[in-house]
Amino acid sequence: MADDRGPGRPRVPGPRIEPAEQAPAAAAIRIGYARCSTAQQELQSQFDALSAAHCKRVFSEKISSDKVRPELEKALKLACNPGC
């Protein structure tokens, strides 16, 4: 027990504690996704548009399946959990 506390003694406030500085929020990034469904199609026009939109991470794939898109899954995972 501190010397300034005890029954019948008035409370003496201690030194003021300054609040801790908050860590800055993580900077937002833009995530892009480009996809072509056939090998004959080109992705460059999509890359150009995503670059013009200042996307920092771009995922792309040439895939014909509409059900399985691994690069889209990676992009969505990054968007939902940007700390990774």
Cβ atoms within 10 Å, residue 2: 7
> Is 67 inside a domain boundary?
yes
Mean pLDDT of 29-37: 92
Distance CA 82, CA 55 (A): 14
- Report the CATH number at residue 65: 3.40.50.1390
> Is 1 inside a domain boundary?
no
In which band, very low, low, confident or very high, does the pLDDT at 25 lie, cut at 50, 70 and 90? confident
Task: Tell me the pTM.
Answer: 0.62
Measure the CA angle with vertex 43, ends 38 and 49; round to 5°: 145
Residue 52 belongs to domain spanning: 31-80
> Is 73 inside a domain boundary?
yes
In which band, very low, low, confident or very high, does the pLDDT at 84 lie, cut at 50, 70 and 90? low
Q: How many domains does the chain have?
A: 1
> Is 16 inside a domain boundary?
no
